[in-house]
Amino acid sequence: MFTHSDVILLLVKNPVDVFDETTRLLVKIADNILKNPENTKVRTLQKSNNTIANKIIKVSGAVDCLKFMGFQENEDTLTLPLTSKLNNLELLRKELIKMKEGGKCSIMDASKPSSSKEIIQPSVIINNGIPTYSASEIRFLDNIKKVNLPLLVPMFTNHFLSRVEQYFHMALYFDNEYLKERAKSYVPYVELQLKAQERFRQIQKLVKSGKMEDPLIDIQDALILELLVWFKNDFFEWVDSPDCEKCDSKTKFSHMSSDPKLLTYTDKVEVHICVNCSHPMLFPRYNDLNILLETRKGRCGEWAKTFTLICRSLGWDARFIVDETDHVWTEVYCHSQNRWMHCDPCENAYDTPLIYENGWQKKVSYVMAYSGEDLQDVTWRYTSNHKAALARRKNCTERELVDAIVQLRQMRQSSLSDSRKKYLKNRLLNELVELMFEKKPTDKDQAGRVSGSLDWKLSRCEIKEAIGYVWKIHPVQIEGNQLILQYSCAKDAYELISNGEVIESVTGWSNGSFLSSGMFRKEEKDWKMVYLCRNESSKEGALSWKLDIEDESLRFQSVKVELGHKLYENGNIDLKVENQVVDLSKSENVNIPGTKSVLISANLSGGRGDVSWQHAQLFRQNETSDDFPMKFVFTFAKV
């Protein structure tokens, strides 16, 4: 059954002039019926009529619009019976007028009433210094419809196999019809379809012009790419630590709550303390998908569970992937290539399964895939060194794991039809053949982690040292007790200067940095400007520089930091020298006495709209400029 969004999507594929005229005609037909609903003449459209034949019958989606209104197609006519209700007619007329007034692109706005729904922000009150849920928060949580799974009767005593069993049981949530219907209501499907079609057309043009090889993708693949972008940029929010509700300052994790009153709706509640006013903030780690569809915030667990549910709600074969080294994501089955595709909503990453081993530096051991009807060990898709991964698998014997998977799979599939079982078996065999072969990492698999703050990623060792360059300082280089490290974006070059002379130079912004994540050098050909900013798909970008003294008799004393930058909208750049926050608006002198090694880091975030990635810029300058907008002036002291 078509929805109003479905038929409008069909109509919008037509050229603009055709679309405008057909829309005008459909609105006129609806108006005539609403003005005189008992008149059978206005309810009957003759196919032989030139206007109907040329502007309705021959136009893609126009007849579907009429059928959605309630018209029935006969051999010679399209007729709306007197017994038909006019609800759908009024709904479609309203949406068509909205598009007619706002232009063809207004379908984007018309298609997402659910997405723009106000997000529930749980509130917290303090009793005797202890945070707890407020009364309104409890009412909100109590009113969320609970989806209960069948009782799980544990089969395994081994901790790892028991955990596999629990995840497989939890995967039943993804096939719950109520949850899928709710999840689907939030997706701006028409908007994503239009963007996917445009992306697909652009790819086809590049293939035909010989500018790229055919990636063998279909419209579903393009739609998944758009869904990943929407989910990361518009729907879900990443939270390391919640901002303080009292003073809007940053908070830091303090402890996990053990208060049973807080653990009613989840078994994990974090308490974070404001670094400015010491106000405690709760951050519940919800597992309930109904709650997550409202709060829409969390870290990888909340992201991947909700994204997997949304994929299932769209009718795709999707499964929840759990990496035992502490990360989760989604896989979606691609029919055009007959294989499972890696999809990480936190990273907006698609078909880059080796990113965790190569970009994040993870030591992969067990990676398990869970869906409502199947269970699979997919570790071998996520490593390019099967032998090394196998050596790290100590949780149980390989035979025990295979037997557990087969047993759980057979129990779950026992109620499926023979044809479905046969399909799943054939798909499984194809996948097992694929997993036998090691794949080599590509350039896409080398990226470090995007989601999470720089400190958080560094603490988990999940950000790759893009170059890992360290500026080595020797006493013989220092004249006048001072050194300068500077960078020009126009020249794309670093210089280390002593007494007015360049003693070391490095070409390439990343080649002279210690760590980089989600960044690139932007060249504006029209404005003839260059600068560093975030990748278009990255909510955060990070860049840091490291200097080490190669002598026991010398130490850093201070550094004066100048970092040329431009901020637009609510773009933000956080600058730190070691753990000291630096005010970008000033040329500050930061004391670092007794330090042998110093790390200076910049974290870019914020911005609004589709070009938010451009709203925080480092070192913006004319491409012909001779200036060095980055300048670190170091002073030293002898031990």
Contact between 259 and 236 under an 8 Å Cβ cutoff? The reply is no
Q: Which residues pair with 567 in a beta bridge?
A: 616
Contact between 262 and 269 under an 8 Å Cβ cutoff? The reply is yes
Within 10 angstroms of residue 175's Cβ, the number of other Cβ atoms is: 13
Q: Of 562, 579, 546, which Cα lies nearest the Cα of 627? A: 562
**Side chain identity at 115, as an amino acid letter?**
S
What's the burial of 287, exposed, middle or buried (CB within 10 Å: 0-12/13-18/19+)?
Answer: middle
Contact between 190 and 11 under an 8 Å Cβ cutoff? The reply is no
Q: How is residue 464 annotated by DSSP?
A: -
Task: Tell me, yes or no, if 344 is annotated catalytic.
Answer: yes
What's the burial of 207, exposed, middle or buried (CB within 10 Å: 0-12/13-18/19+)?
Answer: middle
CA–CA separation, 232 and 240 (whole Å)? 15
Q: Of 471, 495, 498, which Cα lies nearest the Cα of 485? A: 495
Q: Please, which residues have CB within 8 angstroms of residue 511's CB and are 6 or more apart in sequence?
A: 467, 469
Q: Of 416, 512, 425, which Cα lies nearest the Cα of 465? A: 512
Catalytic residue among 4, 169, 327, 342: 327
Catalytic residue among 344, 351, 377, 574: 344
**Coil, strand or helix at 6:** helix
**Residue linked to tokens 């990480």:** 344
**Side chain identity at 578, as an amino acid letter?**
E
CA–CA separation, 340 and 360 (whole Å)? 21
Catalytic residue among 244, 300, 346, 396: 300
Q: How is residue 596 annotated by DSSP?
A: S
Span between the terminal Cα atoms of the chain, in Å: 79
Contact between 601 and 542 under an 8 Å Cβ cutoff? The reply is yes
CA–CA separation, 200 and 218 (whole Å)? 8
Task: Tell me, yes or no, if 327 is annotated catalytic.
Answer: yes
CA–CA separation, 12 and 605 (whole Å)? 35
Task: Categorise residue 315: left if φ over 0, alpha if ψ from -120 to 50, beta otherwise.
Answer: left
Catalytic residues: 300, 327, 344
